[in-house]
Amino acid sequence: MARVITVAAAQLGPVPRDASRGTVVARMVALMEQAAQVRAALVVFPELALTSFFPRWAIDDDSVLNGFFESSMPSRETQPLFATARRLQLGVCFGYAELARQAGSLRRFNSSALVGPDGSLIGHYRKVHLPGDREPQPGFEHQHLEKRYFETGDLGFPVWRAFGGVVGMLICNDRRWPEAWRVLGLQAVELVLIGYNTPMRNPEAPEHDRLVAFQHSLVLQSGCYQNGTWAVAVGKAGIEEGQAMLPDSMVVAPSGEIVARATTSGDELVVAEIDLDATRSYKTTIFDFGAHRVPQAYRMIIERTGAEPPEAGT
Ligand code: ING
């Protein structure tokens, strides 16, 4: 039996600092329209898709900082994404800066939303691995202040049954950490949706700059292969407010092969027809965790991560 769906990585070019939500949402809706024309079931947008990558700046004024956040999802400005999903009968995943009111206090997260083809919210995820610094670094051409503006995600690494399979989300730096993939893998994930904003230069380790694209595909290809899952990885690309951001959006198979890849640094739809059943060729053979892991070791990992794997691929 094949569970074939068409997925679309909707790469975005630069978003200027003063771009209104309306103009960005209009760009996203245009890409959703394109995706509907190729009968996509799901469109994936980058991390912090709605705004410029504002952690590159030291922002001390809270009212300016809050201007980059969404205090409700959907909000008036983002409602068109939900309405378009419903109108075009396609799912959408996008990253956004979340301002949440919890137990009477305001909390800020780097989040992503997963919306179904009926326009309803299926689930949301809060980024766990926040790279960069809490304090502005003297002499850095661009800052990377995610630790200053966001709290560590407190929702774990959930999966949802959606689009005919088991779907999970990661955000940007999460993709570099094998345990993030593994917790999804232990829950039999079949499709991982990953938005990213990756600068081409990392002032903390300039010796890595020549390897940014290589290490991006390395972690995607190994994450997919070692966990028997597909991934759709989507970047905010191009020169955004003077900072070069990695394009290279792609769809990766459970084999680790890249099956579709962006060829520009702008708004671009990268489309692939994927068979979720292709995950079984790995989950039921070389990466059959139950068969090839020493049970007590397997149980120990489950206890430690709290992940309960449903049956793979059912
Ligand atoms: N961006 C980058 C990423 O992990 C980074 C930050 C780049 C950290 C390279 C370390 C090395 O792709 C985000 N937003 O996490």
pLDDT by residue for the chain (314 residues), tens digit each?
799 999 999 999 999 999 999 999 999 999 999 999 999 999 999 999 999 999 999 999 999 999 999 999 999 999 999 999 999 999 999 999 999 998 899 999 999 999 999 999 999 999 999 999 999 999 999 999 999 999 999 999 999 999 999 999 999 999 999 999 999 999 999 999 999 999 999 999 999 999 999 999 999 999 999 999 999 999 999 999 999 999 999 999 999 999 999 999 999 999 999 999 999 999 999 999 888 877 677 677 778 887 665 454 43
- Which residue among 96, 198, 245 has the greatest number of ligand 1 atoms within 8 angstroms of its CB, and so is best to mutate? 198
Residue of 93, 146, 172, 190 marked active site: 172
User: Which of 278, 275, 268 has its CA nearest to residue 8?
Assistant: 268
Ligand 1 centroid to residue 26 C-alpha, Å: 27
State yes or no: is 146 an active-site residue.
no
Answer whether 194's CB lies under 8 Å from 180's CB: no
Task: Ligand 1, residue 144: give the atom nearest the CA.
Answer: 6
Confidence (pTM) = 0.94
Task: Ligand 1, residue 176: give the atom nearest the CA.
Answer: 4
- Which residue among 96, 144, 209 has the greatest number of ligand 1 atoms within 8 angstroms of its CB, and so is best to mutate? 144
User: Which of 8, 50, 5 has its CA nearest to residue 28?
Assistant: 50
Q: Is the CB of 110 under 6 A from ligand 1?
A: no
Cβ-proximal residues to 166 (8 Å cutoff; 6+ apart), any chain = 159, 160, 187, 188, 189, 190, 191, 310, 313
> For residue 209, how far is the Cα from the chain centroid?
22
Q: Is the CB of 172 under 6 A from ligand 1?
A: yes
State yes or no: is 127 an active-site residue.
yes
Which residue has a Cα nearest atom 8 of ligand 1?
A: 131
Task: Ligand 1, residue 197: give the atom nearest the CA.
Answer: 14
Whole-angstrom distance, CA of residue 86 vs CA of residue 102: 29
Whole-angstrom distance, CA of residue 8 vs CA of residue 92: 9
Q: Is the CB of 203 under 6 A from ligand 1?
A: no
Whole-angstrom distance, CA of residue 239 vs CA of residue 100: 30
84: tokens are: 């378009």
State yes or no: is 47 an active-site residue.
yes
119 residue type, one letter: G
Which residue has a Cα nearest atom 14 of ligand 1?
A: 197
Which residue has a Cα nearest atom 2 of ligand 1?
A: 198
